[in-house]
C-alpha cells in the first residue's frame, strides 16, 4: 500500500471516529454510553465499597441536612437519627453515577422493608426537571431528594458519586468517593447487620 493510500485511509478512519464522538456528545448519548461501559466495570466486582473503616477513624455524621423529596416534602436528616442511613450524591449528567444506580436500586429493593434503614439519593442536578425525567425514564423507585441549600462539609467531597453509610450510632462507617457496586452479598449483609 502506498503512503498516500495509507494516509488517506487513516484520515477516513479518524474522520469516522471523530464523527461518532461528536454525534454522541452533541446528542447527549455519551453519558449513557460511558455509563454503560462503567457498568461493565462494576460487573467485574473490581469496585466495591470499603466497609473496613476502623472504629477510631469513623467520623460522627452531620445530621444538619434538609432535603426536598420528589413530592415536594421537606425532610430533615436529623429525624433519621437511630436508623442506618444510606446517602448518595449524584447527578443525571454523571456517567459513574448512572453506572452504579442499578446496583443501588437492587440493594434498595432487597432492604426497603427494613424500617431501620433509610435511603437518601440526593441529586446535585441544578435542573430538577432533568433529574425527574432521568429517574422516571429509568424506572428507579428509591427515594430521591433535592438539596434545600446548605450541604455540610463532611458530604461535600467535590466528587460524584459520593456515598456515605451512617450507623444507628451516628458514625460514618462507609465513605465511598466514586462509583461502586452496592448490590453485593457482603455489603447487603453489612448494612442489614448494622440495622439490628
pLDDT at 52 exceeding the cut of 90: yes
Closest Cα partner for 104 from 143, 148, 159, 155?
Answer: 143
Architecture per CATH, domain 55-194, reads as 3-Layer(aba) Sandwich (3.40)
Q: CA–CA separation, 166 vs 194, rounded Å?
A: 9
Global confidence as pTM: 0.84
Predicted local distance difference test score (pLDDT) of residue 159: 95
Written as nine digits, the cell of 88 is: 448518595
Q: What tens digit of pLDDT does each residue of 83-138 get?
A: 999 999 999 999 999 999 999 999 999 999 999 999 999 999 999 999 999 999 99
Domain ranges of the chain: 55-194
Largest CA distance in the chain: 74
Closest Cα partner for 189 from 117, 102, 87, 88?
Answer: 117
Predicted local distance difference test score (pLDDT) of residue 73: 96
pLDDT at 188 exceeding the cut of 90: yes
Calculate the average pLDDT of the chain: 90
pLDDT at 29 exceeding the cut of 60: no
pLDDT at 24 exceeding the cut of 70: no
User: C-alpha angle with apex 62: 61 to 67, nearest 5 degrees?
Assistant: 120
Amino acid at each position: 500500500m502506498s503512503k498516500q493510500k495509507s494516509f488517506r485511509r487513516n484520515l477516513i478512519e479518524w474522520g469516522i471516529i471523530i464523527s461518532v464522538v461528536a454525534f454522541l456528545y452533541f446528542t447527549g448519548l455519551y453519558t449513557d454510553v460511558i455509563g454503560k461501559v462503567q457498568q461493565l466495570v462494576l460487573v467485574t466486582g473490581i469496585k466495591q465499597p470499603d466497609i473496613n473503616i476502623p472504629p477510631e477513624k469513623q467520623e460522627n455524621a452531620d445530621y444538619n441536612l434538609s432535603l426536598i423529596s420528589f413530592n415536594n416534602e421537606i425532610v430533615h436528616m436529623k429525624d433519621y437519627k437511630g436508623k442506618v442511613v444510606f446517602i448518595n450524591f449524584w447527578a443525571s449528567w454523571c456517567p459513574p453515577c448512572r453506572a452504579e444506580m442499578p446496583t443501588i436500586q437492587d440493594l434498595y429493593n432487597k432492604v426497603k422493608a427494613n424500617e431501620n434503614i433509610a435511603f437518601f439519593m440526593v441529586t446535585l442536578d441544578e435542573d430538577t426537571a432533568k433529574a425527574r425525567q432521568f429517574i422516571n425514564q429509568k424506572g428507579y423507585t428509591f427515594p430521591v431528594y433535592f438539596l434545600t441549600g446548605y450541604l455540610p462539609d463532611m458530604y461535600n467531597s467535590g466528587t460524584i458519586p459520593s456515598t456515605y453509610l451512617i450507623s444507628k450510632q451516628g458514625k460514618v462507617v462507609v465513605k465511598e468517593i466514586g462509583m461502586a457496586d452496592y448490590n453485593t452479598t457482603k455489603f447487603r449483609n453489612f448494612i442489614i447487620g448494622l440495622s439490628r
